Chain A
Amino acid sequence: MFRVTKAPLDVPRLLRAVGDPRAGATVVFLGTTRRENAGRAVVRLEYEAYASMATAEMRRLAAAAARRWPLRKVAIVHRIGPVPVGEASVAVVVSAGHRAEAFAACHWLIDRVKEIVPIWKKEHFRGGEAWIGLQRAAAARRRAARRGRR
């Protein structure tokens, strides 16, 4: 199952989606909205997706993970629209014969999802709002510039 959805994430449904009698391990990663980020009091996050490309990238990542590890099934779902503090915005669920490959693939997949899948987060905090990727990119440029000056 690979999708973006406006609905709260349905973890039991995701577990059913990766159910497989050959699986001895299922690992679930949930990313949730933190109350505080970079010293700001977060009220909610709001996600926007390029939905068709996002699901295509999720499928490509799952296929790449299945080439690296012997997996049974993978599900990746990202919520879009407003996500209140404490609720999950992303789920990566992996089933495999054994736990080592399920943990490794789940960790690899959430890292790649955050780098590659075209979804953007706008943080609404007390006193304002900000797109998150922009500051991260600007901070990376500042770090690179500082390294360059040394």
Chain B
Amino acid sequence: MRVRLRFFAVLRERLGPGGERSVAAGTTVGALWDALVAERPELGAVRVRYAVNERYVERGHPLADRDEVAFFPPVSGGG
């Protein structure tokens, strides 16, 4: 199945804005992040939060075909 990746802030600077990626059925969002870190070990130092289809999820959240999966560091909006 295919999912859409989105990266923000320091992750966007390192990985670009995102794109499409094939993942095995049943892959969790945490496993997908681990696969990205395996390709780019320097990402392991970033504390990451996960969102699927614009909602926060935990690592164990299973992905579905066509999901939009966002990875980003702790938020820091406000003045």
Which A positions have Cβ atoms within 8 angstroms of B?
Answer: 30-34, 47-50, 52-54, 56, 78, 88-90, 110, 113-122, 131-134, 136-137, 141
Given A56-B54, A131-B10, A134-B46, also A120-B72 (CB < 8 A): yes
A134 close to B74 (CB less than 8 A): yes
Residues of B within 8 A of A31 (CB): 78-79
Most buried by A among B9, B74, B77: B77
1/0 per position for B44-59, CB-CB distance to A under 8 A?
0011000100111000
A50 close to B70 (CB less than 8 A): yes
B9 close to A48 (CB less than 8 A): yes
B51 close to A89 (CB less than 8 A): no
Asked whether B8 is an interface residue with its Cβ less than 8 Å from the other chain, the reply is yes
- Give bound CA distance, A47 to B9, whole Å: 9
Residues of B within 8 A of A117 (CB): 75, 77
Across the interface, name the chain B residue whose C-beta is closest to A87: B79
Asked whether B12 is an interface residue with its Cβ less than 8 Å from the other chain, the reply is yes
B47 close to A137 (CB less than 8 A): yes
Across the interface, name the chain B residue whose C-beta is closest to A92: B78
Q: Min CB distance, B52 to chain A, in Å?
A: 10
- Give bound CA distance, A31 to B78, whole Å: 6
- Give bound CA distance, A91 to B9, whole Å: 22
- Give bound CA distance, A59 to B54, whole Å: 12
Across the interface, name the chain A residue whose C-beta is closest to B9: A120
Across the interface, name the chain B residue whose C-beta is closest to A130: B10
